């Protein structure tokens, strides 16, 4: 029981620490924008609007990352998971590849922040 309680308390602290993390520094933001251009744009489009050059051959349409409405229902944790582990990790298309072999966790977190810039949205807003 006490263990359980401690776990919940620790979890709450963790969530708070995550939520109060300040924005990524400028160099990390630029690196994320570059990574997006190099690795995501061919499917998600130059503007991040889901209209990349690949899509005419694809059965699932890549997410429009500029769509605040659909992006704000996703928490940062979910976006992190789908980038790291691929579409199938959140029951989405396998056409969204997993990137864990390409990016470190930190780079993935910066990509999530980049997505928040593209959608001009936050989770739940
Ligand atoms: C080969 C094409 C392709 C590439 C490259 C690609 N994606 Fe995707 N992505 C997709 C497709 C297709 C979906 C939609 C999956 C679905 O709706 O079933 C998607 C969905 C997503 C989603 C939304 C999941 C959701 O429903 O909320 C995120 C976030 C995402 N991609 C991020 C990225 C990032 C970041 C990169 C670059 C590191 C990237 N993608 C590269 C094809 C791609």
Residue range 4-14, pLDDT digits in tens: 655 555 555 44
Residue with tokens 């949205």: 121
Cβ-contact 111, 58 below 8 angstroms = no
**pLDDT tens, position by position, for the chain (125 residues)?**
556 655 555 555 445 445 445 567 899 999 999 999 999 999 999 999 999 998 888 899 999 999 999 999 999 999 999 999 999 999 999 999 999 999 999 999 999 999 999 999 999 97
Count CA within 13 A, CB hemisphere, residue 102: 15
Residue with tokens 């980038």: 83
Nearest ligand 1 atom to the CA of 95 is: 12
54, 62, 83, best to mutate for ligand 1 pocket (most atoms within 8 Å of CB): 62
């Amino acid at each position: 029981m006490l263990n359980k309680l401690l776990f919940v308390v620790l979890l709450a602290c963790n969530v708070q620490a995550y939520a109060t993390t300040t924005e990524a520094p400028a160099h990390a933001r630029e690196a994320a924008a570059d990574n997006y251009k190099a690795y995501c744009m061919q499917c998600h489009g130059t503007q991040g609007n889901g209209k990349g050059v690949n899509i005419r051959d694809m059965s699932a349409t890549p997410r429009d990352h500029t769509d605040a409405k659909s992006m704000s229902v996703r928490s940062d944790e979910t976006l992190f998971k789908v980038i790291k582990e691929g579409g199938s990790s959140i029951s989405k298309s396998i056409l969204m590849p997993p990137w864990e072999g390409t990016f470190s966790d930190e780079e993935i977190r910066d990509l999530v922040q980049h997505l928040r810039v593209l959608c001009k949205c936050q989770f739940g807003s």
